[in-house]
Amino acid sequence: MTVTDLSHAPEALAHAPDGSVTFDGVGLAELAARHGTPTWAISASQLRLNYSTLHTALSARLSRPVIAYSMKANNNRAVVQTMAGLGAALDCSSEFELALAASAGVPAGKVIINGNGKSRAYLTAAIRMGVWQINVDSIAEVDRIRSIARSLGVTVPCAVRLKLSYARLLLSDPSYERTLRIAEGKFGSSTQSGDAEAVVRAIVAAEELEFVGLTHHAGFPGYRADFTAERQLMHQARCAEEIVEFAHLLRRRMGVVTPRLNLGGGLRSGRSVYLSTPGNGGDGEFRTLPTPDEYAEAIAAGLAGADWDPIVQFETGGFHVGNAVLLLAGVQDVKDVTRPRERRYVTLDCAMTMFTGRGLNRVGFPLLVVGHGPDAAPHPLPVELVGPTCAYDSIAEDISLPPVREGDLVALLNQGAYCEVLSTQFNGFPRPAVVHLDDGDVRLVRRRETLADIWARESAALDLWPG
């Protein structure tokens, strides 16, 4: 499969034999004519489909699943509101996300608070608002939450974020140790060292706090060289088993029941993720992802030993938005070179600054050229698709593309998760506009940045200019 193979394209995308392309019922050529390029387009239908597919899979196997949308993946108000409207709770990771959530109208009672080493300002805002749950990272945080709760005269629902031993996981597959090195680190309190138990005890003993659950997040491991869907499922199932074991231990040792188990996020939407290392050339590879049904099955198996009926929370981010957003870009230059070898450079008006994850995570993006049908004959030269910034800025290397010209449109798919939120203004490029599409309807939900936005924080007087 190549980068232009769209057999795994999102359901909201339609690519006709005549080359016309629609996303959520909106023609991409018309969209570019009306809103310009580059533009991020969010499909509300795809967001709804992704949510309902996961919710259905979980509800078929768990009695009380709750999906909290992890807004770090994409914090457009339009996305947050769509997810809240579907019934999702929300996972926030800073006081700034919390403010965005409030501005989107999400009730505090549906918000889960995450983060390591949370600031006093963050905790105070969350407690004052009356959030659903704070995922407590450490014993020091217990003390901070207590003092804030005392001064406000409230009781705070606290879950404890666990750093697992992964003993069961490593027994199943010792080679997983390399993958875990990334997942471990600064988050949570260790079940092995006794820290996690001490945090639970401190919460249970504090009259200002209510112990509501245990939480653990296993990040998406799909960018690793040894990723397979089976390994991810095994990872999730073994973690769930270990959390259940820890909850049983808490009950035996302290008589404490764990009403909520939070299993974090770590899923991606669509049937595959496209990986390619910038600079290595070649077309990269598609890796098959676990389906929501397979995921729910693995989680249910992992929780099967639980002798009580907890609320099971999920903090999925990338799964919901990943394939629900595309970046529509324009071709601004085509350059054919013969040395050091023959190739065609196609420069787009979007850049890696809009998806820095490509450099960080080997993630690549399936793409198509608007105006050329799926079976269009490729131009004979291998193409390097690049952005115009001074960074390496490669979007795809050594690919086959139809013969494109200046002004053609290219749609980069799967741009919803960790793209816009990680984007920068390198070289002074303003960030694209964002439009919300819904069954043929188009709304501008974030305007394109202007030069004035880029200068907006400048306070140096103009008389610093030596002339």
Ligand X SMILES: Cc1ncc(COP(=O)(O)O)c(C=O)c1O
Name the one range near ligand X by CB under 6 A: 22-30, 196-204, 216-224, 390-398. Answer: 216-224
Q: Kindly tell me the burial class for residue 439, based on how many C-beta atoms sit within 10 Å of its own C-beta (0-12, 13-18, 19 or more).
A: exposed
Minimum separation from the CB atom of position 267 to ligand X (A): 6
Minimum separation from the CB atom of position 416 to ligand X (A): 10
Residues 296-355 that bind ligand X (CB under 6 A): 315-319
Asked if the peptide bond before residue 38 counts as cis, ω within 30 degrees of 0, the response is yes
Kindly state whether residue 55 participates in binding ligand X, applying the rule CB under 6 A: no
Report the residue number, 289 or 433, with the smaller CB distance to ligand X.
289
Minimum separation from the CB atom of position 55 to ligand X (A): 15
Kindly state whether residue 366 participates in binding ligand X, applying the rule CB under 6 A: no
Selected binder of ligand X within 28, 54, 73, 84 (CB under 6 A): 73
Residues 382-441 that bind ligand X (CB under 6 A): none
- Total residues binding ligand X (CB under 6 A): 16
- Please check whether residue 208 is in contact with residue 219, taking contact to mean a CB–CB distance below 8 angstroms: no
* Residues whose CB falls within 8 Å of the CB of residue 194, separated by 6 or more in sequence, listed in order: none
Name the one range near ligand X by CB under 6 A: 31-39, 230-238, 263-271, 401-409. Answer: 263-271
- Residue 318 has φ and ψ, to the nearest 5°, of -55, -35
Minimum separation from the CB atom of position 262 to ligand X (A): 8
Kindly state whether residue 217 participates in binding ligand X, applying the rule CB under 6 A: yes
Residue 157 amino acid letter: P
- Please check whether residue 112 is in contact with residue 70, taking contact to mean a CB–CB distance below 8 angstroms: no
Kindly state whether residue 188 participates in binding ligand X, applying the rule CB under 6 A: no
Name the one range near ligand X by CB under 6 A: 215-223, 286-294, 386-394, 428-436. Answer: 215-223
Minimum separation from the CB atom of position 70 to ligand X (A): 4
Tokens standing for 40?
């991020």
With CB atoms as reference, the residue minimizing the distance to ligand X is 265
User: Greatest CA span in the chain, whole angstroms?
Assistant: 77
Dihedral sign of CA atoms 181, 186, 189, 195 in order = positive
Residue 102 amino acid letter: A
> DSSP assignment of 55-118, as one string?
HHHHHTT-SSEEEEEETTS---HHHHHHHHHTT-EEEE-SHHHHHHHHHTT--GGGEEE--SS-
Minimum separation from the CB atom of position 249 to ligand X (A): 23
Report the residue number, 50 or 347, with the smaller CB distance to ligand X.
50
Nearest CA to 224 among 362, 422, 366, 318? 362
Report the residue number, 21 or 413, with the smaller CB distance to ligand X.
413
Nearest CA to 355 among 332, 327, 321? 327
Kindly state whether residue 266 participates in binding ligand X, applying the rule CB under 6 A: yes
To the nearest 10°, the Cα dihedral for 316, 447, 435, 27? -150
Kindly state whether residue 265 participates in binding ligand X, applying the rule CB under 6 A: yes
Report the residue number, 217 or 238, with the smaller CB distance to ligand X.
217
Report the residue number, 91 or 393, with the smaller CB distance to ligand X.
91
Site string for ligand X, 109-148 (x = CB under 6 A): -----x----------------------------------
Minimum separation from the CB atom of position 160 to ligand X (A): 13
Minimum separation from the CB atom of position 425 to ligand X (A): 23
Kindly state whether residue 74 participates in binding ligand X, applying the rule CB under 6 A: no
- Residue 298 has φ and ψ, to the nearest 5°, of -65, -40
Kindly state whether residue 51 participates in binding ligand X, applying the rule CB under 6 A: no
Report the residue number, 313 or 394, with the smaller CB distance to ligand X.
313
Report the residue number, 369 or 421, with the smaller CB distance to ligand X.
421
Quickly count: other Cβ atoms within 10 Å of residue 371's Cβ: 18
Whole-angstrom CA distances from 228 to 109, 170, 358 are 37, 16, 20
- 89-92 and 111-113 strand pairing: parallel
Distance CA 258, CA 261 (A): 7
Report the residue number, 91 or 438, with the smaller CB distance to ligand X.
91
Kindly state whether residue 46 participates in binding ligand X, applying the rule CB under 6 A: no
Kindly state whether residue 274 participates in binding ligand X, applying the rule CB under 6 A: no
List contacts with ligand X (CB under 6 A). Answer: 70, 73, 91, 114, 217, 219-220, 264-267, 315-319
